[in-house]
Amino acid sequence: MDDGDTRVGVDIGGTFTDLVTIADGVVDVTKTPSTPATPEQAVINGLEKLHEQQGLQFGDVGFLAHGTTVATNAVLEGEWADTALVTTEGFRDALEIGRQARPDIYDFQAEKPTPVVERHRRYTVSERLDERGQVRTELDEDEVRALADELADAGVDSVAISLLFSFENDAHERRVAELLEAEGLDASYSLSSSVLPEIREYERTLTTSLNASLKPVMDRYIGNLESRIDDAGISAELKIMQSNGGIITADAAREQPVNTLLSGPAAGVQGATYVAGLAGIDDLVTMDMGGTSCDVSLVQGGDPLVATDVEVGDYPVNVPMIDIHTVGAGGGSIAWIDEGGALRVGPKSAGADPGPISYGRGGQRPTITDAHLLLGRLNPESFLSGELDVEVADVHQVFEEELADPLGVSVEEAAQGVLNVANANMERALRVVSVERGYDPRDFGLVAFGGAGPLHAATLAAELDIPKVVVPRTAGVLSALGLLISDILYDYSASRVRKWTEVAAGELQDEFDEFVATGRERLDAEELPAEQMQFERSVDLRYVGQSFELSVPVPTGELDADAKETIKDRFHEKHRQRYGHAYEDEPIELVTMRTRARGVVETPDLRPADAGGSVEDAIAETREVRFDERSHDTRVYDRERLPTGASFEGPAIVEGEESTVVMRPDQRAEIDEYGSLMVEVNQ
C-alpha cells in the first residue's frame, strides 16, 4: 500500500474476524480466526496479517472502526458486572413484574427471564414527580447518603438509576448520582434520563439496568483494545459501530454500551444497503450468514428499518436498532438426529475452535460447511485460500456414522438433507422480516454476504420468488466494509406525552433546537465540517387511547401551525399504510420527540480494476456438484478473473477469496461495474 490515509474496518464474528482496508482507492481484505476468550487478540492478529500480506503500515492508519459482539455475548451469556438499581419508592419490582406477555401463553409453568438486577441488589429512595415532571415529594438526600454506604458494603461495580417520570425532569436522578459519588462510592453510573428518557417504566428501567451492567465489561474491553492498538503504533482514534447503523467514538460506546448490542450485524446491513444502492436496488432483504448464525433484515427505499423494541436474548431493549432477525444457522451449525429420529441443524455451532471437520482443527461433528464440501460446492484444494487442512475422507466418515446410517440414506442424501433443513430455517427468517410484516418478497432483491451466505442465497431466493440476488465483491467481509461507509450517528429522544392540540409549535421547536445543539456539539468534537452535518427530526404519535405509537418525520425548517398540520396528516397516512385504516376525526397525542444527528462520511469508489480477458479465461475447472437429487457437471469460476460485464449460465460455482457463490441450474449471472455478482433467479 502507498503512504496515505488508510481506513480500516474490523468486524468480529463468532468464527472469523474480518478486516477491510481502503487506501488510495485500493480495497484489501483478510480473515483471521476469532479468539472468543480475548476478542481483542483477533483484532491484533488480523492487523498483523494485513501488515505481512498486504503491507499495511500501522502509522498510515487514519481511521479505525470496529464492530463488536462483546456487549451481545455478555447479555446472551449473562456475564455482566455486579449491578445495583436505585428507583423510586414503591417501584422496586418493576424489573420483576415486566409486562403481562409470557414466553408461552398456554404454559402455566413458563418462567420469565432472570431480572438483570436481582432483588437483593434493587434499592429505593423517597421522592416523587408527577407525569409532567413537577415535584410531589422532594428527594430525601439523607436517605441517599445512607444508601451509599450500603452499596459500598455490597461491593457493586455499577449503579443504574431509574426514577419515576425522570424523562420529564432529570433533576432527582442527577442529584442521586451526585450524592453517591460525593460519598465516595466507586462505581460507574447509568441514568435513565440519559440512556432512555422515554415512557414505559419496565422498558426504561430494563434498558438502563442493562447499560449499567455492561459498562464495566465494555470499558475493560475497549481499554484493552485501545492499549493493544496503541502498542502496535496506530494513533487513529478507535470508532465503534452502534446498533442503529452509525459510528460513534469509543468513549461514547463506553458510556452507553447498550447502543452496541447489534454492532456487527448492523454494519453488515449498512454495507449491503450501500452495495445494493450502487446496483440501483433500494428495496432489499439482507442475509448475513457467518459461522454461527444468520441475520436477516429489510431495507426499504435505501433506508434500513429501525425499531425501538428489539429483543436481545430474553430482554426487550428500547434503544434504536436496525431491525434484525437472527436464527441459529451458520456454516458451523452442527447437524444431529433428535430423539424422534428427525434430522436437525443448529442452533449449536462448532464455532471457530475446533470448527467444522473440514477445517482440520479437530472438529468431530457434522456441520453445514461439511455438507457443502461433500456435495462438491467447496473445493478442498482451494477451500479458504488453501490455508486449512481439509480431509474429505474424515468428513465422509462422520456423516456416514452420525447421519446417513441412522437415517438409512446415502452420505450425499444426508448432506443434502442438512442443507434442506438449514435452508428451511433461513427461509422462515426471511419470511418474518418480509411476508409477516406485509412486504412482498417479489418486490425486493436479496443481498447475500458473510462467509456462508452466498452458498445458500440462490436457493432461498428461488423458494421465495425473489427475482435477483446480489453478492458483493467483498461478500465474506461485508460487515467490515460497512464500517467504512457508515455515517456517524447520535440519537436523542425525550417523551412528552401531550394531546397534539395542547402542544405549541414553539415548544416543539425549542425541544428540537436543544437536541440539535447537543448533536452539533458531538459532531464538532469529531471535527466534522458543517456541510457534512445533518439533523433529522421525528415525533412518535398515536391516537388517544392507543398503547403504541408510530414515528413520523418532521418537516424541515421552523415549526409553525402549518407544520403541525402536516405532521398530523403524515401520521394518519402512515397509520393507514401500516394498519389499513385511519381515523382522521379522532384526537392524537404526542408521545416522544426524536432527533438524529448525522455526520455524513465520504464513501470510497469501490470499482475494481477490470480483470480483462473473457469468461472462459476465468473457468478454473469443471466438477460434479449435486443439486437436490441430481448431480451436474458444473463450471467453477475464479471470481478474481471474471471481467466486468461477464455473464454466464448456471449451474455454476464462483470461488472468491473469502466466499463461494452457488448458482443453481437455469439461473444466470452477470458481473456489474463494482464487481458485484448479480444473479437472475427465475428466468
**Nearest by Cα to 479 from 4, 8, 10, 5:** 10
| Pair (63, 88) in one structural domain | no
Q: How does residue 354 score in pLDDT terms, banded at 50, 70 and 90?
A: confident
Last residue within a domain, chosen from 538, 567, 599:
599
> Does residue 14 carry a pLDDT above 80?
no
Are 679 and 642 in contact, with CB atoms under 8 Å apart? no
| Pair (408, 448) in one structural domain | yes
pTM (two decimals) = 0.88
The reply to whether 523 falls in a domain is yes
- Work out whether strand 445-449 and strand 468-471 pair parallel, antiparallel, or are unpaired: parallel
| Pair (27, 121) in one structural domain | no
Sign of the alpha-carbon dihedral angle for 341, 347, 353, 358: positive
| Pair (162, 14) in one structural domain | no
Q: Give the pLDDT mean for 214-231.
A: 95
- Amino acid present at 468: K
| Pair (71, 102) in one structural domain | no
The reply to whether 666 falls in a domain is no
Which pLDDT score is estimated for 384? 42
pLDDT, tens only, 394-420: 899 999 999 999 999 999 999 999 999
The β-bridge partners of 367 are 334
pLDDT, tens only, 26-49: 888 888 888 888 899 999 999 999
Q: Give the pLDDT mean for 230-242.
A: 93
The reply to whether 23 falls in a domain is yes
More confident residue, 630 or 609: 630
CATH number at residue 400: 3.30.420
The number of beta carbons lying within 10 Å of the beta carbon of residue 108 is: 7
Q: How does residue 3 score in pLDDT terms, banded at 50, 70 and 90?
A: very low
Which pLDDT score is estimated for 352? 66
User: Apex CA 470: angle with CA 464 and CA 471, to 5°?
Assistant: 120
| Pair (86, 68) in one structural domain | no
pLDDT, tens only, 50-108: 999 888 899 999 999 999 888 888 887 888 999 999 999 999 999 988 887 776 778 77
Q: How does residue 385 score in pLDDT terms, banded at 50, 70 and 90?
A: very low
Which pLDDT score is estimated for 84? 97
| Pair (227, 199) in one structural domain | no
Q: How does residue 386 score in pLDDT terms, banded at 50, 70 and 90?
A: very low
Q: Best-predicted range by mean pLDDT among 58-72, 201-215, 381-395?
A: 201-215
The reply to whether 652 falls in a domain is no
Residues above pLDDT 90, as percent of the chain:
72
The reply to whether 242 falls in a domain is yes
| Pair (412, 281) in one structural domain | yes
More confident residue, 490 or 629: 490
> Does residue 427 carry a pLDDT above 90?
yes
> Does residue 1 carry a pLDDT above 50?
no
CATH number at residue 39: 3.30.420.40
CATH number at residue 145: 3.40.1360
| Pair (55, 180) in one structural domain | no
Which pLDDT score is estimated for 101? 72
Which pLDDT score is estimated for 390? 57
Kindly report the average pLDDT of the chain as a whole number: 91
pLDDT, tens only, 145-167: 999 999 999 999 999 999 999 99
The reply to whether 641 falls in a domain is no
Domain tally for the chain? 4
The reply to whether 637 falls in a domain is no
| DSSP-derived secondary structure letter, 260 | G
Sign of the alpha-carbon dihedral angle for 174, 178, 179, 181: positive
More confident residue, 118 or 379: 118
Which pLDDT score is estimated for 2? 43
| Pair (30, 138) in one structural domain | no
| Pair (130, 191) in one structural domain | yes
Which pLDDT score is estimated for 111? 78
The reply to whether 664 falls in a domain is no
DSSP 22-40: EETTEEEEEEEE--TTSHH
Question: Three-state SS across 184-211?
Answer: CCCCEEEEHHHHCCCCCHHHHHHHHHHH
Last residue within a domain, chosen from 433, 459, 482:
482
Last residue within a domain, chosen from 201, 231, 260:
260
Domain that holds residue 415: 266-482
| Pair (165, 313) in one structural domain | no
Rounded distance between C-alpha atoms, residue 28 and residue 51, angstroms: 11
> Does residue 609 carry a pLDDT above 80?
no
Which pLDDT score is estimated for 184? 95
DSSP 357-391: GGGTSS--S-BHHHHHHHTTSS-TTTGGGGTS---
CATH number at residue 505: 3.30.1490
DSSP 265-296: HHHHHHHHHHHHHHTT--SEEEEEE-SS-EEE
